[in-house]
Amino acid sequence: MVIKTAAKVEHIVQSELKTNLIGLCPEPEGLIKFQPKICLQKLKGLTYRSILSADLFDTEMLRELAKVAAYLQLKKISADEVLNDKIMATAFFEASTRTRLSFESAMLRLGGKTLSVAEAALTGEAKGEKLLDIGQMFNSYADIVVIRHTQQKAIQELSEYLRIPIINGGNGSDEHPTQALADWYALLKWKPDLMLGAASEEQLHLGIVGTPGSMRTVKSFLILALLFRHNISQITIVSEMADPLGVEVQSFCDSSPIPIDIQNDLQEVVGELDVIYMNSIAFLGDGYRTLGSRFKLDKDSRLKKDAVVLHPLARKDELDVSLDHTRHNLYFNQADGAVFIRQALLLIIFGRLEQVLPDHLIE
């Protein structure tokens, strides 16, 4: 009979993963197992703050935010009515399913209310109204606004007269910071050791299939990836473009503490990757383009046994449905967790987290 030490049992419980009919479902308990208390001080920098870029977040802030999301997902804190005096406007001048609905779901779950602009044709912008004037109106109508727009400069223009917090739900080909938070929430549940803030024995080789210079989800994901220099051995970007980074992304990659490699053949490196972040759709100013269409994954791809695949969705042919029912599929869990990470973010922005956390969970 083998007797396991408490430490070994703890590690087994922490790393337990469940698989159901829609892929891999890491349990949130691992995020709070060793450090259950929330350090409010590390999150106070987000109070009444606009969320425009992923570079707003540091490692400690991301870990504490993930713990709040875990408590919400596990229903260990009750926040059903805490935002019942708040209204969120979701102003989507570009098509969206997951981002708009998950933000609205997050707000409603917290007892708040939502106003929604589902398409640009329904706004004054269709008549030539300036975004800065629309921003002035939001001050009277809502307490926070989530915006998606086809133009990168739209966030700055809308913000000029805005006095309430604004969350960037995707601006052109620039950034999508809360998508990156959802991405890393899924990865932290999958590998809770990343929460410890120290180098782990298992170093991850991270693959990004896409073009960070023109894909907002990929860019924001990469920005947060650079926070985990103790846990990522290498980042490999796979793209068919000659310059997948562009000037801005190239500048922070040049100073990256993690080695970054660029390849143009996914099949050459797929067997080395522990995490594969895929995207093929980019908005390039005048419409959607499919980039990297020759890079595809299916159940027969030569993936490492325990490799996981992330995708911000919507997908096209690059991610075959045959992967949906495998342990490589982390992308559905990634989408599910977006509601909880956005709930956590709204609680923190409005300064209401302390109201819902019991004293024994506050550090």
Residues 102-133 pLDDT 10s = 999 999 999 999 998 766 544 555 555 688 88
Q: What pLDDT shows up at residue 303?
A: 96
Q: What pLDDT shows up at residue 106?
A: 97
The domain 178-335 is placed in CATH, from the list 3.10.105.10, 3.20.20.60, 3.90.1200.10, 3.40.50.1370, at 3.40.50.1370
pLDDT in tens, 326-345: 999 999 999 999 999 999 99
Q: Is omega for the bond preceding 314 within 30 degrees of 0, making it cis?
A: yes
Which residues, at least 6 apart from 154, have a Cβ–Cβ distance to it below 8 Å?
A: 93, 131, 147, 171, 172
- Domain ranges within the chain, ordered by starting residue: 32-176+336-352, 178-335
- Domains 32-176+336-352 and 178-335 fall in the same CATH topology: yes
Higher pLDDT, 100 or 65: 65
In sequence order, which ranges of 16-168 are alpha helices (DSSP H)? Answer: 59-73, 98-109, 131-141, 154-159
Higher pLDDT, 352 or 212: 352
Q: For 146-159, what is the mean pLDDT?
A: 85
Confidence label for 149 from pLDDT (cuts 50, 70 and 90): confident
What 3-state class would DSSP assign to 29?
Answer: helix
Confidence label for 8 from pLDDT (cuts 50, 70 and 90): very low
Q: For 170-175, what is the mean pLDDT?
A: 82
- Check whether 286 has a pLDDT greater than 80: no
Per cent of the chain over pLDDT 70 is 87
User: What is the Cα gyration radius of the chain?
Assistant: 20
- Check whether 213 has a pLDDT greater than 60: yes
Phi-psi region of 125 (alpha: psi -120 to 50; beta: other; left: phi over 0): alpha
Q: What pLDDT shows up at residue 353?
A: 97
Q: What pLDDT shows up at residue 355?
A: 95
Arithmetic mean of pLDDT over the chain: 86
Confidence label for 292 from pLDDT (cuts 50, 70 and 90): low
Q: What pLDDT shows up at residue 14?
A: 44
Q: What pLDDT shows up at residue 130?
A: 80
Q: For 23-52, what is the mean pLDDT?
A: 94
Q: What pLDDT shows up at residue 290?
A: 58
Per cent of the chain over pLDDT 90 is 60
pTM above 0.85, yes or no: yes
**CA angle in degrees (0–180, nearest 5) for 345-165-144:** 80
Terminal-residue alpha carbon distance, the chain: 40
CA distances 324 to 21, 22, 57, 320, Å, are 8, 6, 31, 8
CATH class of the region 32-176+336-352: alpha beta
Residue with tokens 């987290």: 353
Q: What pLDDT shows up at residue 293?
A: 53
Q: For 21-33, what is the mean pLDDT?
A: 87
What 3-state class would DSSP assign to 287?
Answer: coil
Confidence label for 20 from pLDDT (cuts 50, 70 and 90): low
- Check whether 15 has a pLDDT greater than 60: no
